[in-house]
Structure 1
């Protein structure tokens, strides 16, 4: 714990006032205090001056004055079915009054009663005492995003009133039972009709076949957020340009309605373009997104130029109007990228020099209206094809269908950061402190949401993001769910180890998740791996969010926990995309790869011994609980497939409400999709689906394979 002397320091008090943790406990239960220079830099990223003693004192007073000067906080959370008391700042003799405008524009008819203030907690502001009263929000306020109007004397202020269910309710099928599904990297799974990269038509077929041939009820796919409009395309789906938009590089040109009515010569051009990249489908070594997109975008231009029926044009225009500014932001950024080149951090680059409303940007929009509309159209088609995949999954009988993956942040040079700079902290990026898997810490390069801006705007950016995710899916997995509670901010110019945790209002953000999941009849899974404070685990459980139970991580003090002892509210799997597939992990691919890339802090032999000890403990658990025959365990290399199957049999004894099988495990793939802590040193997110012999596995035959069916049989056992 921090000493009383440290806690008395003005810098520490300012940091805590701003929601910055001034110390933390790491994965190994090691205690760390944040250095002053880091705190000063993180405060600066929040727009708070702590450059000297005088600045610190002024910032403390400014924050306290500002909080007492407003009548009501800009965002208020209410739980449906419970009475809420909303604090209101009043004069010593004042009494507040309030009304509510519901989300649909109607007035809430119930009378809102005030509670008297507490004069003992008065605050001196501009020569007058300010005390606190409250407004009582009745328990029967319906769920939704409402507006609270608070009046004190002649002043009236509005607040966003988020009325949310207290928890995310389980689907009926999960109350007494559970559901299972597959985990897939969409880009890596190609069919004979793909353009070298898995696409939305492949996704639809994947979902249909997963249900009809294996009985799965969902498929968890990599994030499908928007990326760049032209090459070079960022490989990582976890570094998107805009999280609220859909990645249009996954469009299947031949599945666009207008393709069917194209003139013969135009269709031949598209067929030739397709033929130019068709050989990519057989490449087992590398996904070549850029080659795919250079051919596909030409085909899409040809289809875009074709005539649309009046009905289709009306649908397009309605989509543009409905998505609104978010679409305009992304399309405009795409146009600038297309005509002026890739954004960069150079001072003379267009993204650094120009804002969304600058004359140059407005002029470019007027100069190239067709190109601007093309990017609107691409987003419409992408959303349409993604929605169609989900509809086909539901029609096939899947209970959930698509489980979408929400990335933790956005690209620092992407459209969202450029169009909405006020949403993000300036001068810091998101990462993670050192742990046993990444001993040097991590810097994910993404600018974090500014928690002050979130509160001031009623969390609109986060509300819209969650809503958009559920618009295309039956479940949402939140990458790094701890980010709703705290994020590790790394100040610009410092190493990942030199960061600090910044706290967010998790109650509001979890309330938004519950509200949007309720409206979509959806499921929320939070990726809560790593160091999870007890209060976070308790909060996730109380809000009905499922966490993640990864078999390789379910251990303590060198012993693996029996699956029967895992928690109920979780998505259970053998591994994650940041680990090699099951076969590769057994062959210590993670050790070999980290040594080759220079990611080990100590000698390879030490890490290898640790990895082997971990593997021994896993085998011991599998044998002890009857998932693996002891005789087979004696020759791990010869019986590798049986050991992998035993790991999946173990999942069946867990009480977890969702189970997931990795397609890479099912086909015997050994290569990891991603190695954290690397960029181009390893082909992250560019590994095609292949089997144990290194042969490409296509979607056409995927679910007819014996090895895939064997895993599916295990997953259907209960």
Structure 2
């Protein structure tokens, strides 16, 4: 329901359903992109609460849920997750029977006891509550400012009751790396799979990434490459094209492994190497296909080669490293490897009730039986993950050895596949009956459904945010920086109830202070950088929270406008990663030729006949060129024949980018080689070949990695950025 009011009325706020929703962080109203105010309908709120495991179907159920939540909170001595900011004293509420004196101790992350004093003081404003016939009072635990950075365990006892909580002690902000304190850095943006070398298996891999990083530094003096997400995917074909729909965000996509770069490859017999070469040669023609990336053909050949290398074994020193990796990953690796094994032997998960993923849980005897039946295959999937992580970390190490100041900027997807390993093994971590997406806006007038189950914020708090901590830690182990796609998801996510359209959703809020604190811990431990993709509707409190913690935002040249007038780059944000475009848009040359309009028209993604969108695109086009001319980045004479001077206009867009005060600036390889096709059209699946477009030039010819840095456009744009 849309209204002209800007806030909810006192009468609405007093409604039990609205009160219950707000207790669980479910938003009951929101402001749209055009500052239009919406109140969420009751049926949507009821469905979202059900996804959180709360029955709100009747007035009686609502009242019962409210009472149950309050009783649950009051029955615990301390909240399961506690946030502390290093260098600042803080207080934590402790709840205990009024006749008992609570006592607190702290075990640090390294297992040592904290030797400081933990005081518990009376709360003069506290009121006692009756819980199961016992009066519970509250007091305040004072956390000293010298508690070190880390994930610690807080122990609180009161009488015969004892509880532990995860104490997340985070820096107040992420320190700027020295090179950014008084200057800026620039780098490239790449879709790794799309950039093939003569030695690739039809799809770009981690060895190609290593080469790309070192050559980018040597030939263009770039200090980083921002890549697509490389989270874990399916073990066998067909493979999901979208890097933003992984089966697990904890692990790495092992289809990017380069078989010939595995140390054990070199100990193979000549016959085995010849067989692997035949497998490679069977897919080698794919490297020169400029139309479509064929991941499935690649993986069917490469997986056989990897199995041969795995079966050959490894020396004792390498085995010791592998064993330690398995020990460090623990149950998370077992979850992913077991899911891969089941997928391999029983087929892809489906929605069929008789499908293995729906019939069995991790505790089913059938799952234990298949693990015992195929121990080698299970070990193979553990090994693949180790090799993939090793090669990705090797690419990052090579980038730093070459002199890059950051190296790899990894990309964190918003969520995971609904039938993936994470959701199957750990269903309690996710909301059941809702997916994540985005409400309607000017770019997607029908809204978006990303088909990803959201993390359950209640479960996150109960478990000390361990799933999020492990994921962030893993990403910083193999990168110098992490870009977080849709960082607003750490604050709120647009949940869509099952069976509803994206229009009929609502925002669910998360504890962003805790999640930003985790980012600060992990980034600070490796002197890393965090970039948050904060495009679209960004509430002021989000911008402030990110800035206070030293997290960079994003600035896209085509989006830096207001009321049809483009903001000169000199006025862009200082603490941002600035780019001309992004992966959800056509490259610069394609955008100038209205490729974004043509795709939407062709696929029926526009309301009405689409004339309004085309007209707005034409006005935007002219306004951008006007800004470039007004600011001295483009000679107005170039506009007399835009088509003939397209390369010069693209260069002008990058001269404007260079002029921005933004600390980080990135240039897309697609812009430098003249590619016009977009990588991804939001709101589509197979209607458009999303994430399957190989790198090609403006003439439709494939650009091979060995030739990439020899391209005239690469030289021209890098000269602009280095000027």
TM-score using structure 1 length: 0.99
Distance 1:356 1:96 in 2: 39
Q: Does 1:470 align with 2:476?
A: yes
Provide the residue aligned with 1:353 in structure 2. 359
Q: Does 1:641 align with 2:647?
A: yes
Post-superposition CA distance 1:521-557 (Å, at most 9, x none):
1000000111101111111111110010011111111
Distance 2:100 2:443 in 1: 57
Provide the residue aligned with 2:418 in structure 1. 412
Q: Does 1:459 align with 2:459?
A: no
Q: Does 1:698 align with 2:686?
A: no
Provide the residue aligned with 1:328 in structure 2. 334
From 59, 75, 78, the equivalent of 1:72 is: 78
Post-superposition CA distance 1:608-663 (Å, at most 9, x none):
11001011111111111111111113322111111111111111221111000000
Contact kept, 8 Å, 1:430 with 1:445, in 2: the verdict is yes
Provide the residue aligned with 1:58 in structure 2. 64
Provide the residue aligned with 1:608 in structure 2. 614
Provide the residue aligned with 2:402 in structure 1. 396
From 702, 714, 717, the equivalent of 2:720 is: 714
Distance 2:126 2:290 in 1: 72
Alpha-carbon offset, residue 95 of structure 1: 4.4
Contact kept, 8 Å, 1:96 with 1:151, in 2: the verdict is yes
Contact kept, 8 Å, 1:240 with 1:410, in 2: the verdict is yes
Alpha-carbon offset, residue 602 of structure 1: 2.4
From 4, 9, 13, the equivalent of 1:3 is: 9
Provide the residue aligned with 1:150 in structure 2. 156
Post-superposition CA distance 1:56-78 (Å, at most 9, x none):
00000111111111111100000
Provide the residue aligned with 1:195 in structure 2. 201
Provide the residue aligned with 2:3 in structure 1. none
Alpha-carbon offset, residue 120 of structure 1: 5.0
Alpha-carbon offset, residue 150 of structure 1: 1.5
Provide the residue aligned with 1:584 in structure 2. 590
Contact kept, 8 Å, 1:119 with 1:131, in 2: the verdict is no
Contact kept, 8 Å, 2:192 with 2:204, in 1: the verdict is yes
Taking a change above 3 Å as real, the CA distance of residues 91 and 365 of structure 1, as seen in their structure-2 partners, is: closer
Q: Does 1:281 align with 2:287?
A: yes
Distance 2:654 2:177 in 1: 24
Provide the residue aligned with 2:455 in structure 1. 449
List aligned pairs for 1:34-433, cutoff 5 A: 34-92=40-98, 94-433=100-439
Structure 2, unaligned runs of 5 or more = 1-6
The range that moved more, 227-236 or 129-138, is 129-138
Alpha-carbon offset, residue 387 of structure 1: 1.0
List aligned pairs for 1:478-489, cutoff 5 A: 478-489=484-495
From 625, 629, 651, the equivalent of 1:623 is: 629
Distance 1:650 1:133 in 2: 57
Alpha-carbon offset, residue 92 of structure 1: 4.3
Distance 2:489 2:351 in 1: 26
Q: Does the residue aligned with 1:652 lie in a helix, a strand or coil? A: helix
Post-superposition CA distance 1:7-57 (Å, at most 9, x none):
111101100111100000000001111010100000000011101000000
Post-superposition CA distance 1:363-395 (Å, at most 9, x none):
111111111111111111111111111111111
Contact kept, 8 Å, 1:431 with 1:489, in 2: the verdict is yes
Structure 1, unaligned runs of 5 or more = none
Distance 1:309 1:4 in 2: 71
Alpha-carbon offset, residue 129 of structure 1: 4.1
Contact kept, 8 Å, 1:92 with 1:119, in 2: the verdict is no
Q: Does the residue aligned with 2:613 lie in a helix, a strand or coil? A: helix
Distance 1:314 1:13 in 2: 55
List aligned pairs for 1:518-667, cutoff 5 A: 518-667=524-673
Q: Does the residue aligned with 1:444 lie in a helix, a strand or coil? A: strand
Q: Does the residue aligned with 2:698 lie in a helix, a strand or coil? A: coil
Contact kept, 8 Å, 1:118 with 1:131, in 2: the verdict is no
Distance 1:362 1:148 in 2: 35
Contact kept, 8 Å, 1:88 with 1:132, in 2: the verdict is yes
Q: Does 1:507 align with 2:513?
A: yes
Q: Does the residue aligned with 2:452 lie in a helix, a strand or coil? A: coil
Distance 1:85 1:354 in 2: 44
Q: Does the residue aligned with 1:538 lie in a helix, a strand or coil? A: helix
Q: Does the residue aligned with 2:659 lie in a helix, a strand or coil? A: coil
Post-superposition CA distance 1:568-620 (Å, at most 9, x none):
11100001100000000000000000010110012222211100101111111
Q: Does the residue aligned with 1:383 lie in a helix, a strand or coil? A: helix
Q: Does the residue aligned with 2:641 lie in a helix, a strand or coil? A: coil
Contact kept, 8 Å, 2:487 with 2:534, in 1: the verdict is yes
Q: Does the residue aligned with 2:405 lie in a helix, a strand or coil? A: coil
Distance 2:59 2:610 in 1: 47
Distance 2:373 2:494 in 1: 43
Distance 2:508 2:454 in 1: 10
Contact kept, 8 Å, 2:126 with 2:139, in 1: the verdict is no
Contact kept, 8 Å, 1:95 with 1:133, in 2: the verdict is no
Distance 1:237 1:119 in 2: 51
Distance 1:124 1:253 in 2: 64
Alpha-carbon offset, residue 233 of structure 1: 0.3
Q: Does the residue aligned with 2:451 lie in a helix, a strand or coil? A: coil
Contact kept, 8 Å, 1:481 with 1:526, in 2: the verdict is yes
Post-superposition CA distance 1:181-209 (Å, at most 9, x none):
10000000000000000000000000000
| Root mean square deviation, CA, Å | 1.0
The range that moved more, 306-315 or 251-260, is 306-315
Post-superposition CA distance 1:311-366 (Å, at most 9, x none):
12222211111111111111100100000000011101000000012111111111
Distance 2:677 2:106 in 1: 56
Moved runs in structure 1, 4+ residues, more than 6 A?
A: none
Alpha-carbon offset, residue 132 of structure 1: 2.4
